[in-house]
Amino acid sequence: MEDKVLEVKNLTTVFSGKTGTVTAVDGISFSIDRGSCLCIVGESGCGKSVTALSILRLIPRNSGEIAGGEILFDGKNLLKMSPDEIRKIRGNRISMIFQDSMTGLNPVMTVGKQVVEAIRIHDKDITKEEAAEKAVKILSDVGIPSPELRMKEYPHQLSGGMRQRVMIAMALSAGHNELLIADEPTTALDVTIQAQILSLMRKLKEEKGSSIMMITHDMGVVAEMADYVLVMYAGKEMEYADVSSLFSNPLHPYTDGLLKSIPRLSQSSDEELYTIHGNVPDLSHMPAGCRFSTRCPYAKGKCFETEPPFFSVEGHHVRCWKYEEAEK
């Protein structure tokens, strides 16, 4: 039996507004083995970031709530923990790299103060001087030039890419990082710095046994980092498989479309890029059957009437009526 650091079971997260209630994450389940990397992919609006925020119970209380399910971290349900208990886990045992670096940093505090604060919150015995030395080193590790000078600067003085690296440094510098949740960690970074960040995350996984849950749109990053891939669409899991199987033999039409959308070096200049026609449906007006049916080139009668369950086919879990007979 695999040693699972995280198990998410039937997680449902809803948001309430003036027009009613919207289910952003609808009964999804997945797990992450210790020392492995799970990449969650899908278009914007599919519920990836909401899933990550739900795990750390960071859904704003005035607009949303976790309506059902279990989130087991080392066998303990995070949803049943008190606010004090969950605070001891956030940033210490589970760290998160947020997507929007500007709103994630305090605009009136220097970069150095914020990184040092993250270190000292989770290491009560470290002195301020030791924390400052550690902050300089981790800023250097994530590719920030002249880290001693950057420590004295404010977020608005840094480029978007450098702010993102500060966010990554804060996540990696605090606690034990048993699980690192990275929401688009390489956004706005050039390819050289992106390679540094991915190398740093791999080192964390391989040398310290940390697990990683990464949200990304970059299938190149998925190919490089993932052990397993979860494809999400409109709040549901569409396909789950190990990374090599997913790339060599995508089963769900949505997964196939995502992979076909990647530009190829062999593609001629006059050849049009492949696109998945249409948009992710409005969460308040879901199709009656399969959520991808309105955009799927293979959709038939049943696809528009009944939502398919998860079928187990060739080592994949896939939510598509095409594989109803294959599972039998």
pLDDT band with cut points at 50, 70 and 90 for residue 82: very high
Domains in the chain (CATH in brackets) are: 4-93+176-327 (3.40.50.300), 101-175 (no CATH)
Give the rounded percent of residues in the chain with a pLDDT score beyond 70. Answer: 97
Q: Which pLDDT tens digit goes with each residue over 269-320?
A: 788 888 899 999 888 888 889 999 999 999 999 999 999 999 999 889 999 9
pLDDT of residue 164: 82
Q: Which pLDDT tens digit goes with each residue over 238-273?
A: 999 999 999 999 999 999 999 998 888 777 878 888
* From 4-18, 50-64, 166-180, 242-256, the region with the lowest mean pLDDT: 166-180
Which pTM was predicted?
0.89
Residue carrying the six token digits 């990082």:
177
Measured at the alpha carbon of residue 312, what is the angle toward residues 234 and 235, in degrees to the nearest 5? 10
DSSP state of 198: H
Q: How far apart are CA 56 and CA 13, in angstroms?
A: 13
pLDDT of residue 37: 96
How many Cα atoms within 13 Å fall on the side-chain side of residue 301? 0
Between the CA of residue 36 and those of 47, 75, 126, 226, 228, what are the distances in Å?
22, 17, 30, 8, 8
Average pLDDT, the chain: 89
Mean pLDDT of 172-194: 80
Residue 326 has pLDDT above 90, yes or no: no
β-sheet bridge partners, residue 32: 6
pLDDT band with cut points at 50, 70 and 90 for residue 328: low
